[in-house]
Amino acid sequence: MIARRRAWALAAVVSLAVAASAPRVARADSDTDALSLADTATANTSAHRDWQASFEFAMGNYNQASQTTSAELADTARVSSLLSYDGSFAPGWRAVFSNRLDAGWRANVGQYNAIDTLKQAYLSWQPNSTTIVDAGRVNLREGVAQGFNPTDFFKTNAVRSIVSIDPASLRENRLGSVMLRSQVLWSGGSLSGLVSPKLASQPSNATFNPDFGATNNQTRYLLTLTQRLFGTVAPQWLLYGGDGISPQLGLNVTTLLGDATTGFIEYSGGRSPTFGAQPDSTDAFHSKLAAGFTHTFTNNLSLTVEYDYDGASADRATWNQLAFDPARYWQYRTAINDAQELMTRQALFSYATWQDALMRHLDLTAMLHYDLVDHSYSTWLEARYHWPRADVAIQWQTNHGASHSTYGADSQRQVLQALTTFFF
């Protein structure tokens, strides 16, 4: 049985390249943007729109929908609105604001829920071409991998409402952290430092609460250095820590492996608690790694294959022990989900996109999460058609595995969602 599952998973990775959708560029972090700014001196903003808004309506069909928390994919009907502003209001000054409101109805339990996510609200001051100072709530997204980001240190507790399991959606539609950040730029490099203070102790489930207790419940810092070495290779080094957090060292590197292939490595390491360990256990040194490649074919098909490792998560022995201790098992799953870490120590991730597939404006996407410890897996497929001011999409997610496995224990074994998004 296990051998057949492994064979199926390997076949699924290959089939993703044949079945799915649009070229996906590795996500740029703040320091990559800073490098671009330093090299170009002035940005071309002629096509930039300060205000942007969207409205989305979704209908879902689930084989189970018994969750009572707002961060689960269980809404039979959902409406969402997004309002954002990014503009300059004076020479050298810029304001950034982004807010998302999700409201849903769960027919099987007769429950209405609504949650507001204040993603960003900060002021940015650029006194000269090489210095930037930001103050306020910033959604800082670090990392060059796609499925798992060891250096995305500000992701913990940041997601208030899950509307899609696409990693790009999880990184974009989340709370930022209040911080004071400064960046110094030079040709081919940048240095940034930030402090994120403690503002509250407990998270809040209230609809319109800014939820500082989720993102700013301890004082933290992050130092980031990026320096181009040769060609397009510009490693990013990170040092993260804070109250009750041992220093964590991070590294992000991307490199061209060919005319159409990009390789990437993302690593973090430091002393930290072990998820699932006994309460009296001490911290230990843990490494986390995401490594893989993205290949773009000539027909606008792009495929990413990624290996993920999380030394702080459960290995096979610990995972088997948790299955016989329901209280610890569900406590462990909750902690992992809140921290957005790997459920077990090793996983495989694959993401394929095909832009203008079969016809113009039709994008197909396929994603696979495969747990290398318990051999459970999850698949996600999307077909999306674009108009100038609207999108229509159908998404299908399936989870497979034993009852206490990473994906087999999910409340929904199957999720089918249709949605329409209007852009203003």
Per-residue pLDDT of the chain (424 residues; tens, 9 = 90+): 433 444 344 344 333 333 333 333 333 344 444 444 444 433 444 467 899 999 999 998 765 433 334 444 566 899 999 999 999 999 999 999 999 999 988 776 778 889 999 999 999 999 999 999 999 999 999 999 999 999 999 999 999 998 899 999 999 999 999 999 999 999 999 999 999 999 999 999 999 999 999 999 999 999 999 999 988 899 999 999 999 999 999 999 999 999 999 999 999 999 999 987 777 778 999 999 999 999 999 999 999 999 999 999 999 999 999 989 999 999 999 999 999 999 999 999 999 999 999 999 999 999 999 999 999 999 999 999 999 999 999 999 999 999 899 999 987 888 899 999 999 9
Considering the domain boundaries, does residue 46 fall inside one?
A: no
The verdict on residue 143 lying in a domain is yes
Are 292 and 305 in contact by the 8 Å Cβ rule? The answer is: yes
What is the pLDDT, as a whole number, of residue 113? 87
pLDDT at 284: 94
Secondary structure in 3-state letters for the chain: CHHHHHHHHHHHHHHHHHHCECCCCCCCCHHHHHHHHHHHCCCCCCCCCCEEEEEEEEEEEECCCCCCCCCCCCCCEEEEEEEEEEEEEECCEEEEEEEEEEEEEECCCCEEEEEEEEEEEEEEEEEECCEEEEEEEECCCCCCCCCCCCCCCCCCCCCCCCCCCCHHHHHHCCCCEEEEEEEEEECCEEEEEEEECCCCCCCCCCCCCCCHHHHCCCCEEEEEEEECCECCECCEEEEEEECCEEEEEEEEEEEECCCCEEEEEEEEEEEECCCCCCCCCCCEEEEEEEEEEEEECCCCEEEEEEEEEECCCECHHHHHHHCCCHHHHHHHHHHHHHHCCCCECEEEEEEEEECCCCCCCEEEEEEEEEECCCCCEEEEEEEEEEECCEEEEEEEEEEECCCCCCCCCCCCCEEEEEEEEEEC
CATH of the domain at 18: 2.40.160.10
Structural domain of 66: 2-41+51-423
- Domain membership flag for residue 159: yes
| Structural domain total, the chain | 1
CA atoms of 17 and 360, how far apart (whole Å): 19
Q: Is residue 300 part of a domain?
A: yes
Specify if 191 maps to a domain. Answer: yes
For position 74, what pLDDT does the model report?
63
Can you tell me the distance from the alpha carbon of 52 to that of 46, in angstroms, rounded to the nearest whole number?
15
The model's pTM:
0.86
Residue 276 lies in a domain: yes
pLDDT at 112: 86
| Distance in angstroms (rounded) separating the CA atoms of residues 278 and 198 | 27
